[in-house]
Amino acid sequence: MSLSALILAGGRGRRLGNVEKSLIRGSEGSLLERTIGILEGIVDDVIVSVRDEEQAQELAGDACGKEMVFDTYEDVGPLAGMLEGFKKAKGEYIFVTACDMPFIDKEVVKFMFHCAEGHDAAVPVHNDGSMEPLCSVYRVGPMLPLIESSIQANRKFILAPVFELDDVAKVSIELLKEFDPQLKSLININTLEDLGRFDLC
């Protein structure tokens, strides 16, 4: 089974004063470098989604030579990045995360790929039923046209195409705790308070 990974890095970081979140640095380099380092030992190719050529140039030094794709739809949000990333993916399955989720656990990623095998997707689900679309694995074939049709129908909610899939493996969040007891894989760095709260060293 060939595997890909997509890092969504096109967000504008408004809640962090419009800084490039991908370039926030810790002891293991930038958030982007850190995430690439976690994923590249697991998958066959890592793709980085950015807004445009200007952002690509700004991130080039931290992208570790990985292929970068640009949004063709503006003001759509993560689905725009997913669309272009899925088009370039070499793998049958793709793990999707964001550059501001710097604590993803390798064993969680491997487990999500295992859970997705034979299904259209594997998505972590909390006890209240809410889903985590950015720590999930999708089969590229069925998901790609659904992403595009969701965008064209102005359904920009990131889970819109997921709800249209025929076979989604819902993975209890409790199972992820076996690999990542504090569920750090699901932590987002969105605000200055988050930066102060979570140790990137």
Binding residues for Mg(2+), as ranges, are: 100
Q: Which of 150, 138, 35 is nearest to 89 (CA)?
A: 138
| The one-letter amino acid at 29 | G
Q: Which two tokens stand for residue 127?
A: 């006890």
The pair of structure tokens assigned to 6 is 């997509």
Nearest to 24 by CA among 115, 102, 91: 102
Nearest residue to 48 (alpha-carbon basis) of 103, 11, 75, 1: 11
* Residue entry with tokens 């039923």: 129
- CA neighbor of 42 nearest in space, from 4, 68, 86, 90: 4
The binding site comprises 8-10, 21, 71, 100
3-state secondary structure of 167: coil
Would you list which residues are annotated within the binding site for GTP? Answer: 8-10, 21, 71, 100
End-to-end Cα, the chain, rounded Å: 34
